[in-house]
Amino acid sequence: MRLKELALHLGLSQTTVSRALNGYPEVNEETRRRVLDAARRHGYQPNANARRLATGRAGAIGIVLPTDRNMLLDPHYMEFQAGLGETLLADEIDIVLSPTRGSDEMATYQRMAVGSRVDGVVLSSPLIADDRVRVLTELGLPFVLHGRTESPVPHAWIDIDNEGAFRHATKHLIDLGHRRIGLVNGETRFTFARDREAGFRSALAARGIAVDERFVASGVMSDEIGYRITERFLAETPRPTALLVSSMMMSLGAFRAIRAAGLELGRDVSMIAHDDVFPFLNPDVMVPTMSTTRSSIRAAGKRVGELLKELVEGRAAETIHELWPVELVVRASTGPAPDD
C-alpha cells in the first residue's frame, strides 16, 4: 500500500494524508483519525527510502566495526548496541553497521557521510590520539565519542570517570592495608586505559607509596592475557597482595592464575575488576563474589543514542560533554592485606 493509494482510498490528497500521519497540526482531528485508522487497517508503512530522499535525512546512525582491531570485537560492542537501540528504535532510527578492515575505516566514514547513508555516527574505544575526530569533523558528519581523546577540535563526548574509578579502587585497597598492588590494564593506546593507570598512580602517590613498575602491565582484555599477566605478577617475590583489573573478562584469567598459584582470592590476593555489566558475567554470582568498579555500558549506549539524536537535530557538539561517575562495589574478592 502506497501513500497515493491510501489517499485515493480516503478521498483525500497525499498532502493531507502525509500530514495526518506525521502529526502536523494543521489537520482536522476528525480527518486525522480517519487517516490513522485507515493506515492501520491497511497496514500502511511509508517507504523508508522515499521519505529519506524527500526529507534529506537518512533516519539512521552508523557504527563502524573494525573487524581486525582485536579489542573491539569483544562483547562490549554488543551491549552498547543494545543500549543504543533502546533510544533509537522508538524514533524509527536504524543502526547501520559497517564492519571494516582497519585501514579502510576512514574511507568507510567518508562513504557514509557523502552518500548520506547515516545522519551521524558513534565513535567507540578512542585512542589517546585518535584521528577520527578530525576526519569526521572535516567531513561534517555529526558524531558522539564514547570515551575521550586528545583533540584540539571541539566535539561531543560522553565518558565514564575512569581515572576516578581506579583512584577510588586503589585507595580502597590501600585502606585495607595493601601496599603492593598490581595493575592489569587494557592496551595503553586507548584513553580509558591511560586514565585508569593515572588514577591508580595518583592514589598511590597520594599515600606516598612508590609504584613498582613490575606490577604494572597491560594487554588485550581477554581471559588469556589476564591469566598471563597475573601469573607473572605472582611469580615475583614478594608478590602483590592486591590487583586492579581492567575488565571482567581479564579477571576470569587472573582468578585462574591465582588459583593455579595455590592462592585464595579475597584472602591471599585481593582483586577489584572493572565491570561493564554484561548479562553473562555477573560479579555477584562468582565464587567468591567480585569487587568491582561498575558502570553499565548499555546505559552509556542508550545515552549516546539520545545525544546523537539531539546532535543531528542541531544541538551544538561542544555543549555535549558528560563524565559519568563510577560506583565502587565492594564484595568478597577484597579483604585486608595478609601479614607478610
Partner DNA sequence: AGCGGATTTGAAAGCGCTTTGAATAGCGTC
Partner DNA sequence: GACGCTATTCAAAGCGCTTTCAAATCCGCT
Residues with Cβ < 8 Å from 143, sequence gap 6 or more?
120, 121, 122, 123, 132, 133, 136, 155, 156, 308, 311
Of 14, 31, 77, 299, which one interacts with a copy of itself (CB under 8 A)?
77
Of 13, 67, 70, 282, which one interacts with DNA (CB under 7 A)? 13
Q: How many CA atoms lie within 13 A of 134 on its CB side?
A: 7
Determine, following the binding rule CB under 8 A, whether residue 163 of this chain makes contact with a copy of itself: no
Helices 297-312/76-88 angle, 10° precision: 50
Partner touching 319 among a copy of itself, DNA, none, CB below 5 to 8 Å by kind: none
Tell me which stretch binds DNA (CB under 7 A): 24-32, 151-159, 162-170, 198-206. 24-32
Beta-sheet pairing, 181-185 with 156-160: unpaired
60 binding a copy of itself? (CB under 8 A): yes
> Rule CB under 8 A: is residue 232 a binding residue for a copy of itself?
no
Q: Does 256 bind a copy of itself (CB under 8 A)?
A: yes
Binding mask 270-309 for a copy of itself (x = CB under 8 A): --------xxxxx--xxx----------------------
Complex with DNA: residue 23 or 262, whichever CB lies closer: 23
Contacts of 84 (CB under 8 A, 6+ apart): 61, 63, 95, 122, 301, 302, 304, 305
Helices (H), 89-187: 105-114, 132-139, 162-175
Q: How many residues bind a copy of itself (CB under 8 A)?
A: 62
Q: How many CA atoms lie within 13 A of 54 on its CB side?
A: 7
Should residue 58 be labelled a site residue for a copy of itself when binding is judged by CB under 8 A? yes
Q: Which of residues 236-255 bind a copy of itself (CB under 8 A)?
A: 249, 252, 255
Q: Binder to a copy of itself among 227, 243, 303, 326 (CB under 8 A)? A: 227
Spell out the residues 6+ positions from residue 71 whose beta carbon is closer than 8 angstroms to its own. Answer: 125, 186, 187, 190, 220, 221
For residue 244, give the 3-state DSSP assignment: strand
Considering the complex, state which of residue 211 and residue 263 has its C-beta at the smaller distance from a copy of itself.
263
- Choose one: 3-11, 86-94, 122-130, 318-326; the region binding a copy of itself (CB under 8 A): 86-94
Within 10 angstroms of residue 315's Cβ, the number of other Cβ atoms is 15
Please, is 45 exposed, middle or buried when counting C-beta atoms within 10 Å of its C-beta (0-12, 13-18, 19+)?
exposed
How far, in Å, CA of 329 to CA of 80, rounded?
A: 22
Q: Given the rule CB under 8 A, which residues bind a copy of itself?
A: 43, 45-50, 52-53, 58, 60, 63, 65, 67, 70, 73-75, 77-79, 81-82, 84-86, 89, 92, 94-100, 110-111, 114-117, 220-224, 227-228, 249, 252, 255-256, 259-260, 278-282, 285-287
Q: Given the rule CB under 7 A, which residues bind DNA?
A: 2-4, 11-16, 18-19, 21-22, 26-29, 31, 46-47, 50-51, 53-56
